[in-house]
Structure 1
Amino acid sequence: MSSLTLLCLPYSGASAMLYSRWRRKLPAWLNVRPVELPGRGARLGEPLQTDMQALARQLAQEQRLAVSQPYAILGHSLGALLAFELAHELQALGCQAPVALFACGTAAPTRREEYDGPDWREPKSDAVLIDELRTLQGTPEEVLANQELMSLTLPVLRADFLLCGRYQYRSRAPLRCPLHVLGGETDRASEAQLLAWRQESLGDFALEIFPGGHFFIHEHEDRVLGVLCASLERHRLSA
């Protein structure tokens, strides 16, 4: 195949446009397509979602045209779980399978209870959400102290944490695509929780561990993109 579309799903509290900078670093044959979620970015006027299955079903309908050509899906943290559900919804619609699924920075769908715990099933206060942002170490203190920015970010973050906290795994036929899992050495997801992704697809499985914590995709962006590009080049040439 001559080109490949990469659907990119964001982590909690973020706009998918965080992936737009990758366009400058990846080869021309790889079309980076950030998948914006309702309630942020260009979709700011739409209601936020707290039901993972309903959101995945909506996104699958919206991306049907994009996946009529060869494509892969990538997500980080919340985005990885959503990418997995999106792949299933596209499969249910009869769409062609992605050439690969990249799940970054989170435990497998069957390991959510031990990863998330029971505390995120109900909405959290601003203070609790800010403490969690500090724990994840991806938000500068000057941003956390900016009330105007936080007033925009926290409602999105609250809804996104509910997406994860209320997620319910459903047993279905496995996916049929290669599955690449990326993790950070000091991130909360254990190696066992990352390896548990293996059971979700009949395709080849690979686990890659990077230095750094939860936001290793930013801390070691060039290395992550190198792995991503090399993997997709192999899939592109073998398809």
Structure 2
Amino acid sequence: MFQRWKSQLIPEINLFPIELKGRGVRSSEPFYESFEEAVDDIYSTINSSIKGPYAILGHSMGSWLALEVYYKLLQEGKSLPIHMVFSGNCAPHCEKEETIYHTLSHEDFRLAIQKIGGAANEVFENREIFAIFEPLLRSDFKMIENYCYREKSNKIHCNMTIMTGRDDKKVKSSDLISWKKHAGANCNIFKLDGGHFFIQENITDVTKVINQIFSSYLV
């Protein structure tokens, strides 16, 4: 996906995807035991690898990780991002769903995740493919369901952008507005064509928004 993004982003943007444990080149590493462990891992990567002005974008569960990483950077007195982009989720202080997904049986889990759009459609069309992704999905839901948001004493100092897919079953209009609670500067909301995975389905509009955001910092 990010290779397709690169072809449509302005040349001044250097895309740096952060790989999480259990995915991609880190697929041999065990899944995170907790949400906090994932936050610490991302924080360490940013702290050791990112130089100069930067922004953070998080989608779905990644939006909550991005928020907590921002506050860890603030707490540790590190260089803060110039912009935060939260995508495909409500703010973490919103009331959680009562359903606990990560303990469901195999078939109930598959049907439940399919219903809420918790993975790309092609994952559900082939049961063998779903069996490959199931441990990762369960781990992600376990992290989310065990995550306990704590109120923050500071707002996010930089500008924020909130993005969602118009057809995302998981994210309501009120969920988008919920992010403004954390805004200490400008907060813009974009509804783009697509479902929960609009960042894969609608790369043209997504990259257009990103280019628009960061072009303003180049003036």
TM-score normalised by the chain length of structure 1: 0.82
- Determine whether 1:175 maps to 2:187: no
1:11 maps to which residue?
A: none
Contact 1:39/1:47 (8 A) holds in 2 = yes
After the TM superposition, list the runs of 4 or more consecutive aligned residues in structure 1 that deviate by more than 6 angstroms.
Answer: none
Contact 1:118/1:165 (8 A) holds in 2 = no
* Number of equivalent positions: 216
What CA distance in whole angstroms lies between the structure 1 residues aligned with 2:174 and 2:195?
Answer: 16
1:129 maps to which residue?
A: 109
Contact 1:74/1:103 (8 A) holds in 2 = yes
Structure 1: unaligned runs, 5 residues or longer: 1-17
- Determine whether 1:40 maps to 2:23: yes
Q: 2:34 aligns with which of 48, 51, 68?
A: 51
- Determine whether 1:83 maps to 2:66: yes
Seen in structure 2, the aligned counterparts of structure 1 residues 111 and 175 have a Cα distance that, compared at 3 Å, is same
Seen in structure 2, the aligned counterparts of structure 1 residues 58 and 218 have a Cα distance that, compared at 3 Å, is closer
Which amino acid is 2:20 matched to?
A: L
Which amino acid is 1:229 matched to?
A: N
Q: 2:81 aligns with which of 85, 95, 98?
A: 98
Which amino acid is 2:67 matched to?
A: F
Report deviation, 1:220: 2.0
1:235 maps to which residue?
A: 217
1:150 maps to which residue?
A: 130
Structure 2: unaligned runs, 5 residues or longer: none
Q: 1:197 aligns with which of 157, 168, 179?
A: 179
Contact 1:72/1:98 (8 A) holds in 2 = yes
What CA distance in whole angstroms lies between the structure 2 residues aligned with 1:107 and 1:219?
Answer: 20
Report deviation, 1:134: 2.3
Contact 2:83/2:158 (8 A) holds in 1 = yes
SS of corresponding position for 2:99: helix
Report deviation, 1:147: 4.3
Q: Deviations over 1:30-75 (max 9, x none)?
A: 1111111011111112110142122101210122133331100111
What CA distance in whole angstroms lies between the structure 2 residues aligned with 1:184 and 1:68?
Answer: 31
SS of corresponding position for 1:74: strand
Which amino acid is 2:135 matched to?
A: P
Q: Deviations over 1:140-185 (max 9, x none)?
A: 45x4353443332110000011121122111122221111001122
2:166 maps to which residue?
A: 185
Q: 2:199 aligns with which of 217, 220, 223?
A: 217
Which amino acid is 2:174 matched to?
A: A
SS of corresponding position for 1:32: coil
Contact 2:57/2:85 (8 A) holds in 1 = yes
